[in-house]
Amino acid sequence: MHEANRLKRLPLYLFTIIDGLKNEAINAGLDIIDLGMGNPDQGTPKHIVDELCKTAVMKENHRYSRPIDKSEIELRGAIAAWYYKKFGVSLDPKSEVLPLIGSKEGIAHLSLAFLNNDDIALVPNPAYPVHFNGVLIAGGILHNIPIYEKDGYLPNFQKIPNDIVEKSKLIFLSYPHNPTTAVANMEFFRDAVNWAKGKEIIIGHDLAYSDIAFDGYKAPSILQVKGSKEMCIEFHTCSKTYNMAGWRIGFAVGNRDIVKTLEKTKSYIDFGIFKPIQYATIKALSGPQTCVKRIIGIYKKRRDFLVSGLKEIGWDVPMPKATFYVWARIPDKYSALTSMEFVSLLIKETGVVIAPGTGFGEYGEGYVRFALVEDISRLKEGIKRIKRVLEMET
Ligand SMILES: Cc1ncc(COP(=O)(O)O)c(C=O)c1O
């Protein structure tokens, strides 16, 4: 059996490689401290789980979910209300909101919905992998836009060659940014919208870390820019804000024609979201938000601890303003290694798992990413073990 060429074009998925290395370390008897995947380690807040349990026993909630069903109408309403409260942007729940089976699903399907074989999608590199993998699966042409530390990891739209822009149908943006933790201000989003205007280019903005921000920083929505509803769709997730990663729930909001086409694409592929998950999500979005504050507080403590701990052992890394990652240049001593080689060394020597920058694209080379998904005592232990590697004879 030969898999389709579109699958052959995909790079091996980062976490498949990391899982292999992790298993080898486990088999060698190492205790794993897993800071690899951005997979929240804390549970979903109780009032959300309670709503799932309450609605899961009702047999009317076991059927396929349809857009005209009560659960979906209420969920769209709750999303629009949450959005207005957070960003001051009004959305029509019926035509400008679309619940997703996780934002990753929606992002991948956006490419499938819009790209023909000769259409280009512009993707900043490094990026969250589905931004580029979705393009390849859809059979579109991927055009990487390298983004660099010196530019705050923001793309310069004016530098994209005209012949590329002319064939482009889609650009992905995502700030706060995974993996680099870079943030963007309203001026950047204004520039993006102005640039895309009149070009028939869709802007897909992935705002997965809308709530995970620190020190007074507030992540803007691209939909706050005047005129953005002409060409923007924004993706959100409950995975990070409410620790609901395994539930598979997210949503897209924005331009009604883009939303409609994405919805049409999905209607051929899935049957919506399990209704009890929809009801629980309504609780999450419209219930008390103290749980979100608590979750952010936990990540902030971990961030502070890891950044200062690494500094103490001689590894100076920037303090992120948002996301639950720390993005770090490979220590000088190991700068001759690729990020994958350095991560393999760390896993084999210490059992500490982090992600190599190249898992997010070739321009991630030279960097690694820590996910703050273990508690302080484990971070302390991890730093101790990393110190050993930094002091090792090479
Ligand atoms: C930038 C970004 N977008 C999307 C996702 C996927 O979120 P979801 O769980 O909603 O599919 C992630 C998960 O790590 C992410 O980092």
Span 145-170, average pLDDT: 97
Query: 229 alpha carbon to ligand 1 midpoint, in Å?
Result: 22
pLDDT mean across residues, the chain: 97
pLDDT for position 61: 98
Asked if the model's pLDDT at residue 282 lies above 80, the reply is yes
Looking at the chain, the whole-number percentage of residues with pLDDT higher than 90 is 94
Q: Which of 14, 100, 206 to mutate to test the pocket of ligand 1 (most atoms within 8 A of CB)?
A: 206
Q: Which of 153, 234, 239 to mutate to test the pocket of ligand 1 (most atoms within 8 A of CB)?
A: 239
- Whether 208 lines ligand 1, by a CB cut-off of 6 Å, is yes
Asked if the model's pLDDT at residue 13 lies above 90, the reply is no
- Whether 210 lines ligand 1, by a CB cut-off of 6 Å, is no
From the centroid of its chain, how far is CA 203?
16
What is the CB neighbour count within 10 angstroms for residue 329?
16
What residue ranges of the chain are covered by domains with CATH 3.40.640.10?
Answer: 46-286
What separation in angstroms does the CA of 327 have from each of 189, 220, 321? 23, 21, 11
pLDDT in tens, 336-368: 999 999 999 999 999 999 999 999 999 999 999
Q: 5-43+291-391 domain in CATH 3.90.1150.10?
A: yes
pLDDT in tens, 17-43: 889 999 999 999 999 999 999 999 999
- Scan for tokens 């991890």, then name that residue: 382
pLDDT in tens, 204-251: 999 999 999 999 999 999 999 999 999 999 999 999 999 999 999 999
pLDDT in tens, 308-341: 999 999 999 999 999 999 999 999 999 999 999 9
User: Cβ(223)–Cβ(254) under 8 Å?
Assistant: yes
Q: Which fold has domain 46-286?
A: Aspartate Aminotransferase; domain 2 (3.40.640)
pLDDT for position 337: 97
- pLDDT confidence bin for 394, thresholds 50/70/90: confident
What residue ranges of the chain are covered by domains with CATH 3.90.1150.10?
Answer: 5-43+291-391
pLDDT for position 15: 81
- Rounded to an integer, what distance in angstroms lies between the CA atom of residue 111 and that of residue 278? 25
What is the CB neighbour count within 10 angstroms for residue 142?
19
